Structure 1
Amino acid sequence: MSIVTRRVRTARLDTFVREAGDPASPVLLLVHGNVSSSVFFEELMEDLSADFRLVAPDYRGYGDSERATIDATRGMADFSDDLAALLDALGVEGPVDVLGWSAGGNIALQLAIDHPDRVRRLVLEAPGSPYGFGGTTGEDGRPVADDFAGSGGGTANPEFCRALAEGDRGDGPTSPRFTLRTFYVRPGFTFPAEVEEKYVDGMLAMKVGDDVYPGDLTSSPNWPGVAPGTTGTNNALSPKYLDQSGFADLDPVPPVLWIRGADDQIVSDTSMFDLAQLGRLGVVPGYPGEDVCPTQPMVSQMRAVLTAAGGEVTETVYEECGHSPHLEHPERFAADVRAFLR
């Protein structure tokens, strides 16, 4: 079944949506990750369209959706409220199944926390830590510094942001294409040329600036010298504003299928996007040491929260796989999702 696209005006946002499947089938809401768009789900949608009504929006400021400021002080709530408003606008009643990839996993968790009547089951694909990205340590997500230094808008590579803003389609070390090839998937994995181009298109379609990505920043006396601002995605992912440990307090807790790659370099207990890890490796200068600024155990933090929830949790690890199981092992991923939701 073919994928159709349209714009949906909700009470909050003009949202661009990809859809597939029988409108009478159970709804599966697909939530993409940071620096991407719903185009990354097209092959998965084709695979699952016989079983589900698939709804894959671009979130605010990403892809072809409306550019709207992200209030980072609400954590992921701007995004989750946007999803609830979209379901309302589509006339979808009752709970739906939700699949969130990377930061989309955090949005899916937030939807379950803030709108529990909307979520039946969760598929978390390589989700970020429930304690945000950067600036925490320990399975309980305790902050490393009182101002949450090492997280937020200032953690993004400014050359990468410049490449996004300028529409760089090259393969230099700070280009979107290099990031796609090196970090979104396990190094060595290759896409067909036309598929890679559309994914680069999806990355370049997002809006760059303090309002969307990566967000603003403040200076800090603590290493690495930057702390969160108040707008934009990376600030919304800062532990200053994001604490999703409340997922464990839901009653009932939605069943969870957690799928991740064994070679994920983005969400990991030794993430190559965690400035503390990069400092420990000597990539970011001035690192004060692990006793002052330990690395963030992102996977362990997620496992701790899901375990505390006490619900049905299935953790599946794909070998020879990076940050995108649905792209790297599409047939297995679709089969696992189908089996879980069936």
Structure 2
Amino acid sequence: MPGTLLTGIEARSVRTARFTANVLERPLPETGTTGEAVATVVFVHGNVSSSLFWQPLMLALPDAVRAIAVDLRGFGDSETLPVDATRGVRDFSDDVAAVLDELGTGAVHLVGWSMGGGVVMQLLLDRPDLVRSLTLVSTVSPYGFGGTAADGSLLNADASGSGGGGANPDFVARLAAGDTGEEAPTSPRAVYRAAYVAPGFTTEYEDLWVESMLSTVTGDDNYPGDATATAEWPGFAPGPRGVLNTMAPTYFDTSGIVGLPAKPPILWIHGALDAIVNDASFFDLNQLGAAGIVPGWPGEDVAPPQPMLAQIRTVLDRYAAAGGESREVVFEDCGHSPHIEKPTEFLAELLALIS
């Protein structure tokens, strides 16, 4: 871990009743300790990544802001435990809550990226006492990933085409093998360049981001998870175990934030060139079928691509109409990672929310 930490970031283990978490923190500069902070921001990473991705942003925050990033179970340097997908992302959100309880943070500003957006929405549902605001960064839809119509309803009862069966097996194998190369299109580095950031984006931290991706624990209990057979196209449905199944719409639905009695402000930030979360995502099996990449697609009436952005926007509009505060920010020339692609602009939006 020391070789992956930027100067000014410290790592420690936080033991809770649920698991032992690796936590990164930027100590308050004026004291060299956590001291007294005017605000605490807690960062939650996405799938196939870790808290390492948050370090430059943590360092850029004003001195009086306490910055904490938590590695989810099976990622980074946190303990590896099985993920029960039948709870949606609650294994993850309950873990984060346990860390915050152990640290005694009280209510914090939560920032969740991609799958981490789903984690912080779920935490808001289950532990609203811990939430001052939510920043959703290229978030998963409140209706999960794949298998739903525009209104969030299931396309079929078993949500075929979503969950663990949708992962590329060669990518999973290369993660497990620690592949740092760039020749194969399924290598973690190639996937980072093609899907995590906009075309042509470069950074001095690319090796660090690849190292972060390679910290992902693979297998049926972790990434990507298992699958079940179905007669519905494309022949697989979510299983009960592992990371991708936590976001299957049979288990995951955070649209209930609309009905919460207390509604903290929500900021939704995403890139216009996001390859993963959009209304025609090539990570969606139905979109791959519509494009002729996966054969046998039964057609738009049976298996339409998931309109992810439209779903997110509709739920957040309902949240605002029900008395909450919600704002959408789109960065042009930006992919799935606004916090690393547009750090100055991202920081300004985050500070405007938490100040």
TM above 0.5, yes or no, is: yes
SS of match in other structure, 2:23: strand
**Does residue 71 of structure 2 align to residue 65 of structure 1?**
no
SS of match in other structure, 1:107: helix
When the two structures are aligned, how many residues end up with a matched partner? 338
SS of match in other structure, 1:88: helix
* Cα separation, 1, equivalents of 2:67 and 2:227: 36
Partner of 1:14: 20
Structure 2 unaligned segments of length 5 or more: list them: 1-6, 29-33
Amino acid at match of 1:119: V
1:49 positional shift: 4.9
1:53 positional shift: 0.6
**Does residue 169 of structure 2 align to residue 163 of structure 1?**
no
Partner of 1:325: 338
Amino acid at match of 2:348: A
* Cα separation, 2, equivalents of 1:100 and 1:270: 22
Partner of 1:296: 306
Alpha-carbon RMSD across the aligned residues, in angstroms, is: 1.0
* Candidates 73, 96, 121, aligned match of 2:133: 121
- Is the 1:215–1:233 Cα contact (8 Å) retained in structure 2? yes
SS of match in other structure, 1:299: helix
**Does residue 241 of structure 2 align to residue 228 of structure 1?**
no
Partner of 1:98: 110
- Is the 1:20–1:49 Cα contact (8 Å) retained in structure 2? no
Amino acid at match of 2:169: P
Distance 1:49 1:214, change over 3 A: farther
Partner of 2:286: 276
SS of match in other structure, 1:137: coil
Amino acid at match of 1:246: G
* Candidates 213, 217, 223, aligned match of 1:213: 223
Partner of 2:187: 175
1:51 positional shift: 3.8
1:86 positional shift: 0.1
**Does residue 250 of structure 2 align to residue 240 of structure 1?**
yes
Partner of 1:33: 46
Structure 1 unaligned segments of length 5 or more: list them: none
1:88 positional shift: 1.2
1:13 positional shift: 0.6
1:112 positional shift: 0.2
* Cα separation, 1, equivalents of 2:162 and 2:328: 27
* Cα separation, 2, equivalents of 1:59 and 1:262: 27
* Cα separation, 1, equivalents of 2:22 and 2:220: 22
* Cα separation, 2, equivalents of 1:272 and 1:265: 7
**Does residue 349 of structure 2 align to residue 339 of structure 1?**
no
Please list the CA deviations of residues 49-71 of structure 1 after superposition, one character each: whole Å capped at 9, or x if unmatched: 52411110110000110000111
* Candidates 57, 60, 70, aligned match of 1:47: 60
* Candidates 8, 22, 25, aligned match of 1:2: 8
- Is the 2:144–2:252 Cα contact (8 Å) retained in structure 1? yes
**Does residue 264 of structure 2 align to residue 258 of structure 1?**
no
* Cα separation, 2, equivalents of 1:235 and 1:54: 30
Amino acid at match of 1:272: F
Partner of 2:122: 110
Please list the CA deviations of residues 257-303 of structure 1 after superposition, one character each: whole Å capped at 9, or x if unmatched: 11000111100011110011111111111111111100101111111
TM-score (norm 2): 0.94
- Is the 2:41–2:67 Cα contact (8 Å) retained in structure 1? yes
Amino acid at match of 1:33: G
Would you identify which runs of 4 or more consecutive aligned residues in structure 1 move more than 2 Å?
Answer: none
Partner of 1:199: 209
* Cα separation, 2, equivalents of 1:249 and 1:51: 33
SS of match in other structure, 1:136: coil
* Cα separation, 2, equivalents of 1:112 and 1:123: 12
